[in-house]
């Protein structure tokens, strides 16, 4: 089995409440964070002690999306709507009110903003005008997570009705409906080559779906003790990580789906509460984790 070494490089506070989201920044060494305190912060992996606030909204933030083509940061404010931020000048470029529910995920593809909402609706907006171009209404239960595969032209949406639904990016039509889990689907991620879709759920199961074979189930793994909150692939695509309400981060082989390492409080001075989000950066392959314990940790993982 592959030998894996893990070293925690840093842990920082900064936020005054649970940290729910991490998002890539303009440069490989930069990233954004946000959470229950409504603060959106920018961090530099080369100097983690000088994180700075970019924006502050009145309620929790579960979703951020940085869109490099327009150098814009999109902030999802719970119970309100979207804010598009000029992060460099700390200026709002535009905003739109949506349904008065939680915003769980945001993605952008070809100037189209895709928003997953607690109402079950998935909004498609024009990033320039914020015009509503389309609304997907296939469930009355929360749309929790989004993943885009440009190679397949597909959008995967994980719902709290335990299903994963696949849509065509060109016209938002439904391609597949998968009865994926026994509980809410909290994370879906396409493998970087577009060959597989990985899903994680409140049922603590990790499932791998074969995209080429019509999204048939390839593997099911009892991955964690409690809900899987997020899945993230490594920059070289050879590994992926999961994080959970069980306070752990787990490292997996992306080709065999074997568990390679468990990162937790007992073994690596990990988080003391639920680990909510992961970001595996191209900056020295450093992994970032965010938790209910209000902290952000930086991990150096070597294979």
DSSP for 224-251?
-SS-EEEEEE-TTSSEEEEEETTS-EEE
Asked whether 184 and 234 are in contact (CB, 8 A), the reply is: no
Looking at the DSSP bridge assignments, the partners of residue 81 are: 77, 97
3-state SS, residue 160:
coil
Asked whether 199 and 206 are in contact (CB, 8 A), the reply is: yes
Place of tokens 């889990």: 181
- What is the DSSP code (8-state) at residue 268? H
pTM of structure: 0.96
Q: Which of 75-84, 195-204, 246-255 has the lowest mean pLDDT?
A: 75-84
Q: Vertex 253, ends 233 and 191: CA angle to 5°?
A: 35
Question: Torsions phi, psi of 50, nearest 5?
Answer: -120, 40
Give the distance, in angstroms, between the CA of residue 13 and the centroid of all CA atoms in the same chain: 20
- Distances from the Cα of 300 to the Cαs of 153, 171, 183, 283, 303, in angstroms? 33, 41, 32, 11, 10
CB hemisphere CA count around 266 (13 angstroms): 4
What CATH number is attached to the domain comprising 116?
A: 2.130.10.10
Is the pLDDT at 1 greater than 90? The verdict is no
pLDDT tens by residue, 24-68: 999 999 999 999 999 999 999 999 988 999 999 999 999 999 999
Asked whether 228 and 244 are in contact (CB, 8 A), the reply is: yes
> How many domains, the chain?
1
Asked whether 285 and 298 are in contact (CB, 8 A), the reply is: no
Burial of 129 (0-12, 13-18, 19+ CB in 10 A): exposed
The boundaries of the domain holding residue 227 are 5-302
Q: What percent of the chain has pLDDT over 70?
A: 100
Question: Torsions phi, psi of 266, nearest 5?
Answer: -65, -40
Q: How far apart are CA 60 and CA 159, in angstroms?
A: 20
Q: How far apart are CA 283 and CA 296, in angstroms?
A: 16
Instruction: Tell me the CA end-to-end span of the chain in Å, nearest whole number.
Output: 11
pLDDT tens by residue, 112-137: 999 999 999 999 999 999 999 999 99
pLDDT tens by residue, 214-272: 999 999 999 999 999 999 999 999 999 999 999 999 999 999 999 999 999 999 999 99
pLDDT at residue 185, as a whole number: 98
């Amino acid at each position: 089995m592959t030998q894996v070494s893990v070293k925690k490089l840093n842990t920082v506070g900064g936020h005054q409440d649970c940290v729910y989201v991490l998002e890539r920044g303009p440069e490989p060494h930069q990233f954004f964070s946000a959470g229950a305190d409504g603060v959106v912060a920018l961090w530099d992996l080369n100097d983690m002690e000088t994180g700075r606030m970019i924006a502050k909204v009145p309620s929790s933030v579960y979703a951020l999306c940085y869109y490099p083509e327009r150098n814009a940061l999109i902030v999802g404010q719970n119970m309100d709507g979207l804010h598009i931020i000029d992060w460099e000048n700390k200026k709002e470029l535009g905003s739109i009110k949506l349904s008065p529910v939680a915003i769980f995920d945001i993605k952008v593809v070809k100037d189209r903003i895709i928003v997953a909402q607690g109402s079950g609706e998935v909004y498609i907006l024009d990033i320039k005008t914020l015009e509503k171009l389309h609304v997907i209404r296939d469930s009355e239960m929360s749309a929790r997570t989004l993943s885009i595969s440009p190679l397949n032209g597909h959008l995967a949406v994980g719902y709290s009705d335990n299903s994963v639904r696949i849509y065509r990016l060109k016209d938002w039509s439904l391609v597949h409906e998968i009865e994926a889990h026994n509980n809410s689907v909290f994370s879906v991620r396409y493998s970087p080559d577009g060959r597989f879709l990985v899903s994680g759920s409140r049922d603590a199961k990790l499932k791998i779906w074969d995209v080429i074979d019509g999204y048939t189930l390839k593997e099911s793994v009892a991955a964690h003790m409690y809900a899987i909150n997020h899945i993230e692939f490594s920059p070289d695509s050879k590994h992926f990580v999961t994080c959970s309400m069980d306070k752990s981060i787990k490292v997996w082989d992306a080709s065999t789906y074997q568990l390679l390492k468990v990162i937790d409080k007992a073994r690596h001075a990990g988080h003391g509460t639920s680990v909510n989000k992961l970001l595996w950066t191209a900056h020295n392959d450093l992994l970032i984790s965010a938790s209910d314990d209000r902290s952000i940790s930086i991990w150096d993982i070597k294979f």
